[in-house]
Structure 1
């Protein structure tokens, strides 16, 4: 789906008043429909009734029922109580109930609450009506105009202030949408007294011509420092080349500026795949806590990751690659950094981020990651008592409270895993000799235990930065233990 955001500039005060009024009625209709759906009423039962109550045409009412139904289904999928849904946002509602907020701050919250609750309008597209009947884009000599149906044969008009998107004028894209004859949906939202429009149309992507048969380029996106690590692998999974794309502009600046630069970096990534004729392998977007993969945590890291927008970047990679006919493979993100750091970083003397990108590339090809013999020798000799000693050492020596807490948690998890595998951990671990896209979660336990057994003793109380020390461990199967 292609979505374009724009601000509406009304040609008259009366037009804006009419639009705000129909947004208020439509929002009330959607809330009313939601409550009736909870009572078990059907769409057909509601449609005629709501037209009369809210003085809306059948298309607007049908769209309101559809939105209400989608909220209800989404709530059920998340396992939440549908009767406790708050239109306008629960967090805002809870803030408004706090007694210590008053004055201008309270009025601002109240305005935002009212706008979210009452300032909405959604109109689905219809190809048989050449786009959208209730909210139609018209093009004149001065640019794009949105014609909004506010009553029986009555329309309000607003100039579309679109700006730029992906190096093209948004008005050019809106013109293309309005003339292509395809259905496009329009959603209006009220923010700070201004009305914004979101135009959405389904894109028809070309046939995929660049596939993983010739190999893939795996990418690992990192929030601190801001960069994309990439690795080129051939069809057999062998390392061909690698590099990094720094992204300093994503740490500051306006949201529009960061959005512009995200597209620039995405064009660089997809251009790389296009040049080398290889598919792209990326992490699946349901990863929940990207922050734990890096060296930083806390308020500063959260701020960096928020402005960085990991998901937005990968979404753009998928969209642009599909437009170029390049295959995009999404892989399980679990333990890509750990496997990369332990196995490939010392083997090829590359950074942890590049090594993680290599693991992603290999997963994109469906290859397994077998544990090297040196590491397997460590696992064979490892027992819970040894990890208990390591735990006590961390308690005594590590000063950083946050890092100590994380390391102790990892050690406790490793101890539980070893105990769950029986009295002979080495024998129990041997059959689980790899981690792959198709492997069950049990196989990841090896890497969790291995990280604790190898990395923590070498670098208690600090992040391991000198990966070269792992090279000897990788081949010898011996790791220094804390005294």
Structure 2
């Protein structure tokens, strides 16, 4: 999807007011449709019944219902209560309810909320209608205009100003779209009294030519420090090469600056994959709690994740790779850091971030990670008493309350798993029948038993000390 933002300049104030009224009616129609969808009304009934009350043509009504349905489905996917959706934004609505805000500050917030609630209009593209019927781009001698259908055979024209400062390249691109039969969708939004248009077209990608047949490039993006770790593996999952790409520019600066550099780093990753002729494996874009895999937890982790916007970077890598005909594989990132730090960091003497990228790459090839024999022997010899001693040690030595809580929570979970194993003969390390424990839980126990004593204040970057345990099975040594 390619989206271009532009500001609309109206020939007179009357035309602008006509469009604002259209946006208000469309927004109201969308909210009304949302309520009816909650009550179980079907789309055909709504499309027939909503045209007259809101004085909209059938295409505008259809688009309003489609948007309402999208909001409803999104709310359900996020496990939110659809009945509690607030159009205009919950954050602004909550601020408006605070009694200590009054005067100009209150009026400013109220205007922002009203604009987000009532200042919307969406018109989908249609190839059969040569682009877009209700909101069409038209190229004239004196500029590029948007023709907006405001009623039966009534149109308002607004000049398209591509960007805050006139951007000729954007305007030329919009002209090409307008003069072709490519379907494009247009969304109008009211911001600070001005109307902005967002033109979106579906991008057609070339055929995939670079697949995982010869191996993959695994990508692990880290919020602290800001860097991308990558690994190259062959088709059998063997490590060939690896690297680390620092991203200091994403630690500070304006939104536009960070967006620019995200594109630059995405280009670098895709360039590596193209040169090596391998597919790219990334973490699934739907993951919500990336920070739990990093070095921090709580407020600090959330702050880092917010600043870093790793999801945006992954999305850009995915887009650029598709443009180059490179296969992109998304995998579940669960426990990739834990498995990487315990299994491959000491084995290949690499950092935990590169090791996590290696696990991601292998997972993209469909390979399973088995727990090494010496780790299995160590886990079978581990006792609940030893974990209880570790708990007391953490209580006495760890000062940071957030890290201490995290350690104690993990230790208690490990104790729970070991206690459930005591009734099994020989304490065989395998997923337990009739329980909720899986192989991943044993990796958690292993992390608690070997990493927490190694560095209780924070997750270490060097795991070479685990080599003796992993290869020689020495776990009783001090």
Give the structure-2-normalised TM-score.
0.92
Compute the displacement of 1:400 (Å): 1.5
Compute the displacement of 1:283 (Å): 0.7
Matched, 1:281 2:281: yes
Change (3 A) 1:448 1:141: farther
Residue 169 of structure 1 aligns to a residue in which SS?
A: helix
1:9-65 deviation line (CA, Å, top 9, x unaligned):
333322322221111111111122223334444433333442222222221122112
1:113-132 deviation line (CA, Å, top 9, x unaligned):
10111011011111111010
Aligned to 1:14: 14
Aligned to 2:190: 190
Report the Cα distance in structure 2 between the residues aligned to 1:226 and 1:130, rounded to whole angstroms. Answer: 45
Aligned to 1:437: none
The answer on whether the counterparts of 2:34 and 2:65 sit within 8 Å (CA) in structure 1 is yes
1:168-227 deviation line (CA, Å, top 9, x unaligned):
933343234333412211111112222222222222211111010110000101112111
Residue 438 of structure 2 aligns to a residue in which SS?
A: helix
Aligned to 1:436: none
Report the Cα distance in structure 2 between the residues aligned to 1:168 and 1:245, rounded to whole angstroms. Answer: 34
The answer on whether the counterparts of 2:220 and 2:356 sit within 8 Å (CA) in structure 1 is yes
Aligned to 1:447: 443
Which structure 2 segments of 5+ residues have no match?
none
Matched, 1:360 2:360: yes
The answer on whether the counterparts of 2:7 and 2:163 sit within 8 Å (CA) in structure 1 is no
Compute the displacement of 1:480 (Å): 6.3
Report the Cα distance in structure 1 between the residues aligned to 2:108 and 2:424, rounded to whole angstroms. Answer: 63
Matched, 1:472 2:468: yes
Report the Cα distance in structure 1 between the residues aligned to 2:91 and 2:425, rounded to whole angstroms. Answer: 48
Compute the displacement of 1:81 (Å): 4.3
Report the Cα distance in structure 2 between the residues aligned to 1:283 and 1:397, rounded to whole angstroms. Answer: 35
Aligned to 1:398: 398
Aligned to 1:34: 34
Residue 197 of structure 1 aligns to a residue in which SS?
A: strand
What is the correspondence of 1:46-445 to structure 2 with a 5 Å cutoff?
Answer: 46-78=46-78, 80-141=80-141, 144-163=144-163, 169-424=169-424, 427-429=427-429, 431=430, 442-445=438-441
Matched, 1:457 2:453: yes
The answer on whether the counterparts of 2:340 and 2:352 sit within 8 Å (CA) in structure 1 is yes
Residue 371 of structure 1 aligns to a residue in which SS?
A: coil
Change (3 A) 1:426 1:318: farther
Q: How much is the aligned-residue C-alpha RMSD, in angstroms?
A: 2.4
Change (3 A) 1:234 1:385: same
The answer on whether the counterparts of 2:217 and 2:280 sit within 8 Å (CA) in structure 1 is yes
The answer on whether the counterparts of 1:418 and 1:425 sit within 8 Å (CA) in structure 2 is no
Report the Cα distance in structure 1 between the residues aligned to 2:257 and 2:32, rounded to whole angstroms. Answer: 40
1:58-91 deviation line (CA, Å, top 9, x unaligned):
2112211222233334444555544433222233
Report the Cα distance in structure 2 between the residues aligned to 1:450 and 1:42, rounded to whole angstroms. Answer: 53
Change (3 A) 1:459 1:479: farther
Which structure 1 segments of 5+ residues have no match?
434-439
May I ask how many residue pairs the two structures share in their alignment? 473
Report the Cα distance in structure 2 between the residues aligned to 1:418 and 1:187, rounded to whole angstroms. Answer: 56
Report the Cα distance in structure 2 between the residues aligned to 1:152 and 1:352, rounded to whole angstroms. Answer: 64
Change (3 A) 1:88 1:480: farther
Deviates more, 1:464-473 or 1:299-308: 299-308
Report the Cα distance in structure 2 between the residues aligned to 1:291 and 1:450, rounded to whole angstroms. Answer: 20
Change (3 A) 1:304 1:105: farther
Report the Cα distance in structure 1 between the residues aligned to 2:425 and 2:152, rounded to whole angstroms. Answer: 76
Compute the displacement of 1:312 (Å): 0.8
Give the structure-1-normalised TM-score.
0.91
Report the Cα distance in structure 1 between the residues aligned to 2:332 and 2:118, rounded to whole angstroms. Answer: 40
Compute the displacement of 1:423 (Å): 3.6
Residue 145 of structure 1 aligns to a residue in which SS?
A: strand
The answer on whether the counterparts of 2:417 and 2:437 sit within 8 Å (CA) in structure 1 is no
Report the Cα distance in structure 2 between the residues aligned to 1:426 and 1:247, rounded to whole angstroms. Answer: 49
Report the Cα distance in structure 1 between the residues aligned to 2:132 and 2:98, rounded to whole angstroms. Answer: 43
Report the Cα distance in structure 1 between the residues aligned to 2:463 and 2:77, rounded to whole angstroms. Answer: 44
Report the Cα distance in structure 2 between the residues aligned to 1:142 and 1:275, rounded to whole angstroms. Answer: 46
